[in-house]
Chains A and B, each alone.
Chain A
Amino acid sequence: MMAPENAGAVQPNTAALREFRLEIEEFNVEYARVLDEFDLVRWAEDFFTEDAFYRVTGRENFEAGLPVGLIYCEGKPMLKDRAFAVLETTTFAPRYLLHMNSNARVTQVGADEAIHAQSNYMVLETLVEDKTRIFQAGRYLDTFVRQDGRLLLKKRDCVYDSLIIPNSMIFPV
């Protein structure tokens, strides 16, 4: 089975990379918090570059090089449109969501100072009067860039192993 991009790259154990990893972990903790709180306005506003690419897709597609996304956003305006649609107009059953992420690692630092990284994520979903279930397990394949001192996502590809989605995926991951 094909591994995600850069999976084979050895991570040099340098202090600089450790710094990056810590920074990415802090980024992801904050990212998970806004999603747990359904704060999609912040999600769209605070974590991405203006031209960011965000996609959620099944591992089957990713490994076959198929471009489709459950969510497919080219640029921040599309992220904002999704945030508005979900928060203001979409009909869905009430739920709680918990976002976990771990195993962040830097896979490559590009010549342009772009940081390629990946981490694992999991989303737990609880519907009213129902048991908590693992909604999705997957990997973030990221490209970060630094703007005004802060890391921002230039690309986040969320590649999920859980190929069968339990009903609808209302919120981004």
Chain B
Amino acid sequence: MAKKKSPASKGAAPGNGGTGYKWPDEGFTVIPDWVYTSDEIYARELELIFEGPTWNFVGLEAEIPNPGDFRRTHAGARPVVMVRDADGAVRVVENRCAHRGAELCRPLSGSVKEFMCPYHQWTYDLAGNLIGVPFRRGLDGEGGMTDDFRNEEHGLRKLQVTTRNGVVFASYSDAVEPLEDYLGAEMIETFDQTFDGREIRILGYYRNTIPSNWKSYHENLKDPYHATLLHAYLVTFGLFRAGQRSAMIVDEVGRHGVIASARGDEPEIKAETRELKAFREDMVLQDGRIMDLVDEFEGPWTVTMQTIWPNFIVQRELNTLGTRRIVPKGPHAFDLHWTMFGYAADDDEMTRHRLRQGNLMGPSGFLGAEDGEALQFVQDGLRHSLPSQAFIGLGGTEEGTSTSPISESALRSMYRYYSEVMGLR
């Protein structure tokens, strides 16, 4: 049991990033409640993480194939527009008019020649430059902008943009490192297995609000322990089972991760597994196609779930593929935007296979729904009870990559990194 503590050594300790919060002395085997519940911490996260020197996932190039195509999306918590410029480049601009702040792009997607704000009709080109202001010179010699008004000073806020094999990232920071350095070689290897340059076909979208802190979602996907316990579909059908070859891979910095497993790579089902609630010998599928695996990827794993800090998940569960974008909504909730995809070269049967297998994931997925529920349980628990802290002592104090699923090593790495970025130590 975690020790009960007062709101987490809160006090004017030095090195607390100005928040008044300091990481508990026990280190990274505990997580104080306030990282999930404090408005002050949340505001600092937006500033230092989502709007700091990180790469936010915004979308896929396949969503905007032609010049003028756009999609409303988010970089961190902020609404942005991802658009294909006339020259073919991908731009990401803030969805906020430079005049009086109106959100100027309202449809989810579409195609335009330029952006016109609906309020006073300021117009912007596809790169976000201001190109037109109605009545700029006033009317009958009166009113209008003064002579020193410069279009260049009143464009939309432009984010840094980078792409890799059709995946679009944006950053608010000019100081952010190149994406390849940001991800590191090990993460790129997994990333490139899914995004290997093949043309992508969008299959559709899901969105849901998970009433939990955004970090809990990273934790969930850095937590192989739960995968061996919570999900009957994983355990029973051997997608993720203790005793199987699996790994929780963590990048050098501790912020990104891949939870990976190899189905069928198991001499026999362990006695411990047979005793689990989630192991259901009586579960026999009437239609087994959902578990079919078409071998189409490099590498040893049948499942890789990759978390890319701070807002991106790449899902490869057998043949069901998707991106997930975390949109934080305060300390107690985040939206999850799922984009399911296949490859342009898929034939009809392969597409339908991906769609059938899609029943595993998403807000109504056999796995996805359970994760959403579990995360709500967590937030409800720590939001309403006496302030305390979580205990993450599986695997002792080891950090980094772990080959045992019964370890919370990746969580400790993540919080070491987090506490540093947040100035909590």
A residues at B contact (CB < 8 Å): 56-58, 60-61, 64, 66-78, 80-82, 84-85, 88-93, 163-170, 172
Chain A nearest CB from B64 CB (Å) reads 13
What is the distance, in angstroms, from A14's C-beta to the closest C-beta of chain B? 38
Residue of B nearest to A71 (CB): B364
Q: Which residues of B contact A (CB under 8 A)?
A: 108-109, 202-211, 230, 232-233, 236, 278, 280, 283, 285-287, 290, 335, 340, 351-352, 355-356, 358-359, 362-366, 368-370, 372-374, 376-377
Could you tell me the distance between the alpha carbons of A108 and B370 in the complex, rounded to whole angstroms?
39
Please pick, from B205, B209, B369, the residue contacting A66 in the complex, using a CB distance under 8 A. B205
Residues of B near A172 (CB, < 8 A) are 364
Q: Is the CB of A88 within 8 A of B283?
A: yes
The complex places the Cα of A73 from the Cα of B285 at a distance, in Å, of: 13
18 A–B contacts, CB within 8 A, in A order: A58-B206, A66-B205, A70-B365, A78-B359, A81-B285, A89-B278, A89-B280, A91-B370, A92-B369, A165-B206, A165-B208, A165-B363, A166-B208, A168-B368, A168-B372, A169-B363, A170-B369, A172-B364
Contact B352 A56 (CB under 8 A): no
A92 and B362 form a contact (CB under 8 A): no
Task: Give chain B nearest CB distance to A92 CB in angstroms.
Answer: 5
Partner of B209, one of A60, A74, A165: A165
Which of A58, A73, A91 contacts B205, CB < 8 Å?
A58
CB <8 Å contact, A77 and B366: no
Contact of B207 among A64, A82, A92, A163 (CB under 8 A): A163
Chain B residues closer than 8 Å to A66, beta-carbon distance: 202-205
Report the Cα distance A71→B232, complex, angstroms: 18
* A90–B232 touching, CB < 8 Å: yes
Is B355's CB under 8 angstroms from A67's CB?
A: yes
Closest 10 CB pairs of A and B: A68-B204, A77-B286, A89-B232, A66-B204, A77-B287, A168-B369, A165-B208, A61-B204, A169-B364, A168-B372
Nearest Cβ in chain B — how far from A50, in angstroms? 11
Contacts of B370 in A (CB 8 A): 90-92, 168
Closest chain B residue to A63, Cβ basis? B108
B368 cross-chain contacts in A, Cβ below 8 A: 168
Shortest Cβ distance from residue B370 to the other chain A in the assembled complex, whole angstroms = 5
A143 to B287, CA, bound (A): 23
Q: Which residue of B lies closest to A76 (CB)?
A: B286
Find out whether the CB atom of B203 lies under 8 angstroms from the CB atom of A68: yes
Q: Please determine whether B207 and A84 come into contact, CB atoms closer than 8 angstroms.
A: no
User: In the bound complex, do residue A80 and residue B373 qualify as a contact, i.e. CB atoms below 8 Å apart?
Assistant: no
Nearest Cβ on chain A to B286's Cβ, whole angstroms: 3
How far in angstroms is the closest Cβ of chain A from B291?
A: 10
Whether A167 pairs with B355 at a CB distance below 8 angstroms is no
> Which A residues touch B366, using CB under 8 A?
85, 90
CB-based contact A167/B208 at 8 Å? yes
The contact of A168 among B109, B236, B283, B364, by CB within 8 Å, is B364
A143–B356 alpha-carbon span in the complex (Å): 20
**Quick check: B287 and A81 within 8 Å, CB to CB?**
yes
How far apart sit A71 and B109, CA to CA, in the bound complex (Å)?
A: 24
Q: How many Å lie between the Cα of A95 and that of B66 in the bound state?
A: 45
Q: Which of A60, A77, A91 contacts B373 (CB 8 A)?
A: A91
Partner of B210, one of A74, A82, A167: A167
What are the residues of chain B within 8 A of A60 when measuring CB–CB? 108, 204-205
Knowing that A66-B205, A68-B206 are A-B contacts, what are 4 other residue pairs whose CB atoms are under 8 Å apart, sorted by A's residue number?
Answer: A67-B203, A70-B206, A76-B286, A167-B372
Q: Which residues of A contact B283 (CB under 8 A)?
A: 84-85, 88-89
Which of B202, B204, B236, B369 interacts with A169 by CB under 8 Å?
B369
Complex Cα–Cα for A40 and B355 (A): 22
Is the Cβ of B340 less than 8 Å from the Cβ of A68? yes
Q: Which residue of A lies closest to B286 (CB)?
A: A77
Q: In the complex, A164 Cα to B108 Cα: how many Å?
A: 13
Contact partner of B355 among A69, A88, A168, CB < 8 A? Answer: A69
Q: How many angstroms between the C-alpha atoms of A10 and B205 in the bound complex?
A: 32
**Assembly CA distance A76 to B359 (angstroms):** 15
Q: How far is it, in angstroms, between the C-alpha of A166 and the C-alpha of B209 when the chains are bound?
A: 5
CA distance in complex: A93, B358 (Å)? 22
* Cα of A69 to Cα of B364 in the assembled complex, Å: 9
Minimum CB distance partner of B337 in chain A:
A164
Shortest CB distance B223–A (Å):
15
Residues in B with CB closer than 8 Å to A165 are 206-209, 363-364
Kindly list chain A residues whose C-beta atoms are within 8 Å of the C-beta of B374. Answer: 91
